[in-house]
Amino acid sequence: MIIGMGVVEELFSLRGRAALVTGGSSGIGYAMAEAIALAGARTVLLARREPELKAAAERIGQQGGEAHWVVADVADRTRLAEAADEAVRLVGEIDILINCAGVNPRPPLGTQTLADYDEILAPNLAGPFQLGQRFGPRMAERGWGRIVNVGSQQSVSAFGDSGVYGVAKAGLAGLTRSQAEA
């Protein structure tokens, strides 16, 4: 049996859905935001740099997708809460949350301080937790939602000079399992 493109498009359509993609202005985050928007979701890109966000949203718009943008650092809890509310004002309640933003400084583990630890965990683990807490329960109430936390090989394997990042990504893997169960 041959399946026509209309059937494929319908199977993978995200029309009527709203998405938020952190780290959406470049790299893997941008690629995910682009695919989601081109599948029909009203999409909000969230990142720290306005020029890159604006350009990314424009590229998606030129291809026929709907993309908005919000400037925020996922490590800033107050601003992240405001940005989440702003995203909802732009596209409606979020159905798809992609946590892709992160940082990976590489000083030797023995030289990292508690301040370094906090600075690395904030965007890589605390931000995804905060956004999951904001949007996950509402997804569950509506009976539909997706949270995608972008991990790393370091979730399961240690890499040299990347210790706290590995801790954050291992924690993110655990958070993902907990969010799925909830």
Tokens of 123: 């965007």
Residue 45 contacts residue 59 (beta carbons within 8 Å)? no
Continuous segment of H or E residues that includes residue 51: helix 50-62
- Pick the catalytic residue from 29, 65, 165, 176: 165
Is residue 160 left, alpha or beta, with left meaning phi > 0 and alpha meaning psi from -120 to 50? beta
For residue 27, count other CB atoms closer than 10 A to its CB: 11
Assess whether 117 carries a catalytic annotation.
no
Per DSSP, the residues of 135-163 read HHHHHHHHT--EEEE---GGGTS--TT-H
Tracing tokens 């979730």 back to the chain, one arrives at: 155
CA 138 to chain centre: 17
φ and ψ at 147, to 5 degrees?
Answer: -120, 125
Query: Which sequence positions are flagged as catalytic?
Result: 165
